[in-house]
Amino acid sequence: MGDRRYRLALTTTAGPTVMDGRWSNLATAERKYLSWIGSYSIMPSARIALAEQAGEQS
């Protein structure tokens, strides 16, 4: 089983991903998620999503 990564993405309905971050630690990813909500939720059509993804295998 590969590493787990937590991906945080900020997108809008107007176009592609605006910001993208990945962390191996869930607590860090959750702190960033809350921070992004506070900073970017005022953007029209903002969508902020945190998802767990399987990491790349070597």
Query: Sign of torsion, CA 28 25 54 52?
Result: negative
> What pTM does this model have?
0.77
The per-residue pLDDT for 37 is 94
Residue 1 has pLDDT above 60, yes or no: no
Residues 2-58: tens digit of each pLDDT: 466 999 999 988 878 999 999 999 999 999 999 999 999 898 889 999 999 875 544
Mapped onto helix, strand or coil, the DSSP state of residue 32 is helix
In the chain, the number of structural domains is 1
Q: Is pLDDT larger for residue 16 or for residue 1?
A: 16
| Domain boundaries, position 45 | 4-54
